[in-house]
Amino acid sequence: MTASEKKIEHSTEESSATASINIPPVDPEVPQIDGEAWDEKSTKRLLWRLDTHIIPFMSLIYLLCFLDRTNIGNARLDSLEQDLHLTGLQYNDCLAILFPFYIAAEIPSNVILKLVRPSIWLTFIMVCWSASMIGQGFVKSYSGLLATRVFLGIFEGGLFPGVNYYITQWYRRDECGFRMAMFFSAATLAGAFGGILARGIAEMSGVAGLSAWSWIFILEGLLSILVSGVAYWAICDYPATAGFLSPAERTEVLRRLQADSGHLSNEYDPKYVWQALKDWKIYIHCLICMAGFCPIYSFSLFLPTIIKNMGYTANNAQLMSVPPYVCACFFTVTASWFADKYKRRGIFLLAFQVVGIAGFAMLAAAGSPSIQYAGTVLAAIGIYPQIPLGLAWNSGNIGGSLKRGTGIAMQVMGGNCGGIIASYVYLTRDQPRFIKGHSILIGFVSMAFFLTLFMMIWCKRENARRDAVALAANGTSGKKEELTEDEKRMEAELADDVPWFRYTV
């Protein structure tokens, strides 16, 4: 996106931004362009334009974010603990301290994102976390490492929920899952690149008097700084101000979003935040997300250590950590593509949760290094797809822009509580097999399985109930054909409790 494109007038609310475009008064159910209907080919071309301008850069910055957050697991194999004289649970404390601040930043960050242009806010937090990452390379003590991890958590906390909310401002509900998976797959690539980079950077031990672990933090932080230098121009704000779209294409993107959300509110009003905070369904998704993130953080923070304890050298363990992430990346993207195609989430979540349980069971029960390593691959395949599937399920089942943004932030907050737990799952005293840690993660994934099953059953029954009510009232199980202005205003206030809203199962 060029600097001139950034000069397009932008409002602090998507609703007023939408108003800046003269949208013709057409039926939202009938796609049109220049007076003629859009066909499937032109819609696919439009989505391709959105995908190529939005997803690649969002994926890149999340790759760097996740890499900066978890590269401490790679640094541990290059004498981090010995150089900083960490003893007992101090290393685990340094992992855990990031997450309370990360969690605390999530809802405020999404509210700020609603008020401030994404290109400004996401660039700002990226510069700040990159500076924290570089500073982490120069720490000399336990307290210094704790302090830099605190700042890292504060500034990284806004990215993941922010980008997931941002994606919902461009795509329909049934299109978000695949895009969220493309974005989240960067986390698996971060794990793969982290191992390769750490292996190469290990050769810099002693350069400028710094250990290899210091160079891991410094160089990867510098890489993030370089990317943040172009982020302001690379991040598109909202459809109404997208310079890469023609006026007709902007109109069509907004029409598609309007047809998907109906008369649900896109305005900023704190009451929609409270609607999300009082919605019990979001808390169930928080628990599912926590049970997904706990094994993911455990995996990413400790996988090099787990593989090293299978009998590999430190350098070989860095490289052997790559294949599980590559497999996880493939299944993360593929699963969400099929979930979008069939408009189902729960059944895919259940399937991958079973695979994850099997992987951790192999790690806990098998004594053979080859079977254990196969278990790491299965575990990675089982746990990583759960996050984009779960996020798309929750966000697609929340009506209204601000309530959705708050609900996504709540879900990610709940998920990252799993990061605090993950920091203490694999303890030094449980080496080399970490049977207790693997067993704990089996328990968490099993909890996610039963909560997912419960939500599937509830959504299906609630949809059936609403169909029956609508059939009795209107003679049809779908949306009313015509609404009065009072009914439209009422629906704008009801979010996903609106009578015509149907939950994705």
Please give the pLDDT value at position 154. 94
Q: Omega before 100 cis (within 30°)?
A: no
Please give the pLDDT value at position 266. 61
Q: Give CA–CA dist 213/71, Å, rounded.
A: 9
Residue recorded with tokens 């509580």: 417
Nearest to 411 by CA among 279, 275, 289: 289
Q: Give CA–CA dist 414/407, Å, rounded.
A: 11
Nearest to 84 by CA among 145, 8, 134: 145
Q: Give CA–CA dist 396/275, Å, rounded.
A: 16
Q: Give CA–CA dist 50/239, Å, rounded.
A: 9
Please give the pLDDT value at position 10. 43
pTM, rounded to two decimals: 0.79
Q: Spell out the per-residue pLDDT of the chain, length 505, in tens.
A: 444 444 344 443 344 444 333 434 444 444 554 444 677 888 899 999 999 999 999 999 999 998 998 899 888 888 899 999 999 899 999 999 999 999 999 888 888 888 888 999 999 999 999 999 999 999 999 999 999 999 999 999 989 888 888 988 899 878 888 888 888 888 888 888 888 888 889 889 889 999 999 999 999 999 999 999 999 999 998 898 898 999 999 999 988 888 877 666 566 667 778 888 999 999 999 999 999 999 999 988 888 889 988 888 888 888 898 899 999 999 999 999 999 888 899 999 999 999 999 999 999 998 888 999 999 999 999 999 999 999 889 988 887 777 887 888 889 889 989 999 999 999 988 888 899 999 999 999 999 999 999 999 999 999 999 888 888 877 666 555 566 666 666 666 666 777 777 888 8
Nearest to 233 by CA among 243, 221, 247, 223: 243
Count CB-CB contacts under 10 A for residue 332: 30
Please give the pLDDT value at position 472. 80
Which residues make beta-bridge pairs with 36?
A: 33
Q: Omega before 432 cis (within 30°)?
A: yes
Q: Give CA–CA dist 111/406, Å, rounded.
A: 7
Q: What is the DSSP letter of 242?
A: -
Please give the pLDDT value at position 399. 76
Q: Are 273 and 406 in contact (CB under 8 A)?
A: yes
How far is residue 224 CA from its own chain's centroid? Answer: 18
